[in-house]
Chains A and B, each alone.
Chain A
């Protein structure tokens, strides 16, 4: 116990001696928060919209007005030619087109659920997805108003598009900050423990101090615990700092339980600390460790639903994300932040996440045992 404690004290001394590292640990995530929350936004404004109104009725004009009343869409103009839509989209002039079929108002009046075609330029998948979401919202609203303004209208109304996406419910403005900031918490709890543990373990190997440690009566378990506990503590301190900034400064609503978040974060840290140990066993210099950690990080972030929504991925890649422990934690964190989910409802993500964590951690520790000594 005394030895683990000495090891921890030494580790903290080294971290605090290393000023540049220390400032990176604390300033970088906050900077990241600002950049990701402001600059990289999935919020889409001024979508260039082309309208092709083949109905030319009072009702169809009402639909178009709905799109014109928001700064999310910029009405480019009207067209009667479907070919023109194709050309404009090819020339990057239009991002979205609304095609209202002839007889739209008549069919609507008869309650025949007429269809409006929404054509979206899918090159930028994210924008396309968000734009479709807006369109759905506007058309839904149109439907409600239509019924409200016609008290004698008894037919069931519906405008056939795709089903409403569930997430819109919790984030109706699709505000990207609400979505991104909890993600940043996850990224933080991935990068920091993984990098710190991998680098500090490899550093002992690179500088040769590991050899000096191994001739003392310090066991390998004591060595690992003495190394990992300080990084665990640092991760929590950092988590607290970033959450405070997110809640106080960005006014991100935190609806769930802090205790639940901290507890599940602990389970997630098994994965990231375990990966750190693993990286230290397959590399022999800090440089190698850095690159390897980078590889893991990029894979986890891209395949975890942080930037690219998992729903937007091809089916094969979607299945692959089940192998990524980060995927589960992103769901968990977003659920806690936005829906105040209980532990019970989070189990379907928490169980696989914990299983991955324990597996990765114990295999890495075993591998570490074999390598050292």
Chain B
């Protein structure tokens, strides 16, 4: 008997070691690519191209960043994306609340039918082409509205918000508010929203990250480069290799190619920094959002 317990403790220790080792391996796998990009973005392009840079900048320089910040396309993309993210998040959050709050009220007649109509769109849709034709017919093609309205609502986020309202606002609160002569809109503004800061944070973050990182709608709906969000500009520079405007004309071709490579790393860093910077402050809300959503798939 005693020997058995002793064996268990021994195997427990091995087990802990294996788990800690696996945890460390996972951290390495996630971090190595990120650190490599960061190191390369601060390194001398010559050394990057020769493959000398690994996890620490070699021949430290911020030249690639200077080039990124001098690039007018990137600036314009940045400004556009900031606009789309702020405005789009506002529209999306308001629409989501306007749907989630009434649907969370149990006394709403027809609530189940409406909910079914909404859920159905999660599993079946008209698809890319009919939506595209509709957006064109509505006159939104090549306008900022194409990025703000057609994808404004996410049914998943709606369910998260509705579930939150259902579970955290007691029905008696509505009853007593009604007795005090409080209307439904006043209830939403004065009672429900102040109690729902967590879910508001979740919605703002989910929508903001989604809009910041989106490129598909811009790809199909926006023709004018003036309207392009940052992700489209990034695609042009990083994947299609449109780097003509980078650097001055008096440098040689070889130098240009080198700088084009260096700029790619710094452009990745610059475009990702805003989301990665807010992330530590908001990650607890993200986790919360996933957990609320999990209550009801």
Report if A and B associate in a common complex.
no
A residues lining the B interface (CB < 8 Å): none
